[in-house]
Amino acid sequence: MIIRSASDLPRARRQAIDADTYAAASAIVDDVRERGWPALVAHAERLGDVLPGAPLVFDRAALLAARDALPRETRALLERTADRIRRFSERQRAALTDMTTTIDGGSAGHVVAPIERAGCYVPGGRFPLPSTALMTAVTARVAGVSEVWVASPKPAPITLAAAAVAGADALLGAGGAQAIAALAYGAGSVPSCDAVVGPGNRWVTAGKKLVAGDVLIDALAGPSELVVLADDAADPSTVAADLLGQAEHDPDAVPVVVCLGRDFVARVEAELTRQLADLPTAATARAALENGFAVVASDLDEAIEVCDELSPEHLELCVEDASAIAPRLRNYGALFVGAIAAEVLGDYGAGPNHVLPTARTARWTGGLSVMTFLRVRTWMKVDDLEAAAPVIRDAATLARLEGLEAHARAAERRLRP
């Protein structure tokens, strides 16, 4: 691994979308928005999402049939995982409550309410990802979303089944920008959704950027990232295993270790070599390791500063007294406290969501949660004119300071008998 110092970190965010992909995706999105179903079918067939004439939409009955066809053990696995995600999401939802307070002359507050429709994208490239169907659709359902669609190209039976277990209403068997456009604007029986969420490749990311503003999107996902903060007590074989777990995601994944000595880096490198020898996904993992690096910090304080600067998607704390270190970290998508709390447990449904911010965006946003699908709507009621008079006069004065006389007169009208 390349060894970097704390003063030599890659600071520039990689562009999530190249110009050529963005231009081509824009043409696809415009076509689906304007022509609807015929355009969706044409692009899905042209790009290999579906064979000509094969079904493109799987209704609830088809999803349930896929679920019921699973081996009993596999169905039970999906249902256990969905239940863990559901329980965590329910606790999140319970923490978000309506509020009422007093204001001059009356009361005000907010109501927390779900959106009506959500579109959840599930990648389906090299491998099916049923875990992402669970992460996105279960969370939307717990938030109270009335109608949930999943989109996934060439969906495997396990993906259809996971959509059923997650409570999805239907699945669109298309991917890329064409699927994002269909979820955003509607096409045939696919309704226009209020939110389009979920990870995907550069075509999905381009599509989400193009529809943002017309619908809510969660984030523009870049390559997956893991930073392992390790001290001298950490187990190099465990650190290497976790780095490889991240590296096998994608050739563009970014595995990083932040530690306190070059000798620890050497021990991790030796373990990487040993574990790669019989890893079925070694080719992908080796490519991703080329993107990764090690940072040797002078002490734990500097190591923490490095992690905050990197602001990774996933941050593991393989250090002594990890619980004491955890509150000192500020920027991450998901934090894994202690050597037992492997990042893979987050990927596969311990509870918190695995759809997380990448490319240093954890500095200003968090991962997918029930909050993604909720709106905070405010309200105000004024029924005591005498008590409200001071704020009415202030409103009129402020309006005139801004040159908005009609605003001032509208406020002052309330003071008339």
3-state secondary structure (DSSP) of residue 184:
helix
Q: Which amino acid is at 144?
A: G
Residues 382, 106 contacting (CB under 8 angstroms): yes
Q: Which residues contact 134 (CB under 8 A, 6 or more apart)?
A: 78, 81, 82, 85, 162, 165, 166, 349
What CA–CA distance (Å, rounded) separates 282 from 284?
A: 5
Residues 162, 86 contacting (CB under 8 angstroms): no
Which pairing describes strands 225-230 and 314-318: parallel, antiparallel, or unpaired? parallel
Which of the residues are catalytic? 313-314
What CA–CA distance (Å, rounded) separates 180 from 206?
A: 9
Length of the chain: 417
Side by side, the strands of the sheet bearing 195-197 are 57-58, 170-172, 147-151, 117-121, 195-197, 216-217
Side by side, the strands of the sheet bearing 374-382 are 99-103, 106-114, 374-382
Tokens for 160, please give them. Answer: 């259809």
3-class SS string, 240-276: HHHHHHHHCCCCCCEEEEEECCHHHHHHHHHHHHHHH
Secondary structure (DSSP) of 327-394: GG----SEEEESTTS-HHHHHTTSSS-S----TTGGGT-----GGGGEEEEEEEEE--HHHHHHHHHH
Tokens for 156, please give them. Answer: 């495997």
What CA–CA distance (Å, rounded) separates 249 from 227?
A: 15
What CA–CA distance (Å, rounded) separates 392 from 396?
A: 6
C-alpha distance from residue 253 to each of 256, 316, 361, 399 (Å)? 10, 16, 16, 53
Give the start-end residues of each E strand in 45-203. 57-58, 99-103, 106-114, 117-121, 147-151, 170-172, 195-197
Residues 210, 26 contacting (CB under 8 angstroms): yes
Q: Return the DSSP state at 9.
A: -
